[in-house]
Amino acid sequence: MEFFASPDQPDPQFESFLEDACKELSNWFATTNSRAPLPLVKKLPNAFPGKEGLPCSKLLADVRLLMEGSYQPSHPGALAHLDPPPITASIVGELIAAGLNNNLLAEELSPSVTKIERTLCKWFTKKLGMPETGGGVTASGGSLANLMALLVARSKANLQCNQKAFVLVSSEAHVSISRAISVMGLPPDAVCNIPTDHNGCLSLPLLKEEYINQKSQDKTCFAVIATAGTTIRGAIDPLCEISDFCKQEGLWFHIDAAIGGVFALSSSTSKFVDGISMANSVVVNPQKILGISKTSSLLLVSQIDDLYNCFSTGFPYIEPSSGKDFQGGEIGLQGTRSAEILKLWLGLRQLGQDGIRLLLEESIMRRQYFYEKLDSHKFNIISGPFHLIAFSPKYIDSAEAKMWSIATKERLLKSNFMLSRPTYKTTWFLKAVMGNPHTKFSHLDFLADAINKSI
Ligand SMILES: *Cc1c(COP(=O)(O)O)cnc(C)c1O
């Protein structure tokens, strides 16, 4: 068996391996409904290489075994997390990216793909309403993108070595914020968690109060972080008001829009994230709702120079880029990066503006439909304008809610519906994410009925 595709002629072995792999994948999709969203892992293939290499047929048999134990995002009952099924063009983008094996570190290792990445990031900043000076870079996930944004904010404020530097953020922000602060060598109390209101949104008066309180202790703020779409209920912090506050105080305004950012791409949903244009930095995760296969995350900034000034170290061993644009490896933390932008580029091109709008609107419609079906006399339902919804029985204590959440989740799994079980403000919830296009209203009828009968 040849390990590398022939550089001289069409390679029948290469083609048939890819075709057979494609058939396996297609068959996995086609048999989705005969499996559960979360299958039991009965048998695993060998993890390590034997002395002799294996032929394609054996490799694919192992892949089949692996697939049997894989989480199935395209199952209509897969509603637990922000992990939708991938759209076809993004799968092709992943395959081509692997084949090209270009490196976004530098233009000489990825001449065309680097340009696509720059142009597409620019397009995103434009859609978000950010200034002409803006741009961005892909990152392997929103956690890394958030870390990079905070590094840039801190370096802009010249507080790299200052242990009294802090950020202001909602108490419902994603865990990646406190992790980033810890990676940055700051003490835990450098994250000032601002309480949220009854809608799960950061409270502006309390933000201002805490800012003054921290300053009175000789501390210096280097960023205010708003969340556009919290992970449990999809709440959106008051972006315009926070932006005004940041302008007034001369503070960096970062928006973690890992969930909400893509809603800015469609004119029918962009109103939800009004104010996003005012951010100094924004994190957007197309992997979370648009069906771009993992990972697909972007860090967008209002001044591309800020990324360069924070991360560039010089590249003694790399040719400079052709124009005035920065090398990929000089505007982020990562060195070698895959051509993952291809998934996003091809995926968005396949969807078109109409497809993007449809995915977003239908996700919201499913959430609205489900909301209406849930018995609001029995449940405390929390949900913002996006496609996330969580609920917990009224009139029971936290211990009872925990038991209810475990028992109900298990019962639903037996009917092939997978929800998640977050804790939120001292009690237990079940959460559904309606980003799965295979979930029909009939599924939601069944699901709501089962939940309404659970208590
Ligand atoms: C998922 C998420 C992140 C982290 O993104 P990863 O790609 O999982 O690292 C950050 N912020 C919010 C609001 C998220 O929902």
Q: What is the pLDDT of residue 323?
A: 86
Ligand 1 within 6 A of CB of 200? no
Q: What is the pLDDT of residue 353?
A: 98
69-78, 247-256, 309-318, 375-384: least confidently modelled range: 309-318
- The residues near 449 (Cβ < 8 Å, ≥ 6 apart) are 373
Q: What is the pLDDT of residue 445?
A: 98
Which ligand 1 atom sits nearest the alpha carbon of residue 173?
Answer: 13
Mean pLDDT of the chain: 97
Ligand 1 within 6 A of CB of 170? no
Q: How far is the CA of 35 from the centre of ligand 1 (A)?
A: 28
Q: How far is the CA of 266 from the centre of ligand 1 (A)?
A: 21
Indicate the DSSP class of residue 312.
Answer: -
pLDDT at 16 over 90: yes
Q: How far is the CA of 238 from the centre of ligand 1 (A)?
A: 19
Ligand 1 within 6 A of CB of 227? yes
pLDDT at 372 over 90: yes
What strands, in cross-sheet order, belong to the sheet with 220-227?
A: 135-139, 297-301, 281-284, 253-257, 220-227, 165-170, 191-194
Q: How far is the CA of 259 from the centre of ligand 1 (A)?
A: 7
Question: What is the arithmetic mean of pLDDT over 28-33?
Answer: 97
Which ligand 1 atom sits nearest the alpha carbon of residue 295?
Answer: 7
Ligand 1 within 6 A of CB of 256? yes
pLDDT grade for 1, boundaries at 50, 70 and 90: low
Q: How far is the CA of 373 from the centre of ligand 1 (A)?
A: 29
What sign does the dihedral 171-173-175-180 (CA atoms) show?
negative
Q: Residue 433 is encoded by which pair of tokens? A: 């994410």
Q: Residue 174 is encoded by which pair of tokens? A: 């994603």
Q: What is the pLDDT of residue 65?
A: 96
What digits encode the pLDDT tens for the residues 66-79?
A: 999 999 999 999 99
Q: How far is the CA of 419 from the centre of ligand 1 (A)?
A: 18
Q: Residue 229 is encoded by which pair of tokens? A: 């779409």
Q: What is the pLDDT of residue 239?
A: 98
What digits encode the pLDDT tens for the residues 388-402?
A: 999 999 999 999 999
Helix crossing, 111-127 with 341-373: angle to 10°?
30
What digits encode the pLDDT tens for the residues 226-236?
A: 999 999 999 99
pLDDT at 126 over 80: yes
Q: What is the pLDDT of residue 376?
A: 98
Closest of 362, 383, 363 to residue 374, by C-alpha: 383
Ligand 1, atom 3, lies closest to the CA of 142
pLDDT at 286 over 70: yes
**Taking the mean position of all CA atoms in its chain, how far away is CA 336?**
21
pLDDT at 305 over 70: yes
Q: How far is the CA of 287 from the centre of ligand 1 (A)?
A: 10
Ligand 1 within 6 A of CB of 143? yes
Which ligand 1 atom sits nearest the alpha carbon of residue 287?
Answer: 7
Which ligand 1 atom sits nearest the alpha carbon of residue 229?
Answer: 13
Q: What is the pLDDT of residue 123?
A: 98
Q: How far is the CA of 16 from the centre of ligand 1 (A)?
A: 38
Which ligand 1 atom sits nearest the alpha carbon of residue 140?
Answer: 7
Q: What is the value of pTM for the model shown?
A: 0.97
Q: What is the pLDDT of residue 321?
A: 84
pLDDT at 43 over 60: yes
pLDDT at 315 over 90: no
Ligand 1 within 6 A of CB of 285? yes
pLDDT at 179 over 80: yes
Q: What is the pLDDT of residue 318?
A: 87
